[in-house]
Amino acid sequence: MADFSKQWCEANDPEMPWDFDILEEADKLQPDYYISVICEGYGFSAIYKDKKGNILLAFDNYQDGTTEWKPYNQVIK
C-alpha cells in the first residue's frame, strides 16, 4: 500500500487523506536517529534527525545502492 505524507498531500492533492506527518515523525526521534517510512509522493524512504535537530530525508538510488540524505527544506517547499 502506498503511503503519502501530509506535506505532499497538502502541496499536490489537498483532498487526498494523508498517512503521516513528516514533522510529527521527526519530532518523535532522538537526535542522531532515523525512522524508516516511505513517502511515495516525494520518493523518500526514511526520516532522520541529526545531532543539531535538522531533519533529513533519505532518497535511495537502487541502481548503485547509495542513499542521499537531503535536508527537509530542500525537498518540502
Residue 31 lies inside a defined structural domain of this protein = yes
Looking at residue 7, what is its pLDDT? 98
User: Each residue of 7-48: pLDDT tens digit?
Assistant: 999 999 999 999 999 999 999 999 999 999 999 999 999 999
- pTM score of the predicted model: 0.93
Number of domains composing the chain: 1
Residue 19: DSSP 8-state: S
Count CB neighbours of 75 within 10 A.
19
Mean pLDDT value of segment 49-70: 96
Residue 13 lies inside a defined structural domain of this protein = yes
One DSSP character per residue, 28-55 reads HSPTTEEEEEEETTTTEEEEEE-TTS-E
Residue 57 lies inside a defined structural domain of this protein = yes
Find the domain containing 21 and state its range: 6-75
Residue 1 lies inside a defined structural domain of this protein = no
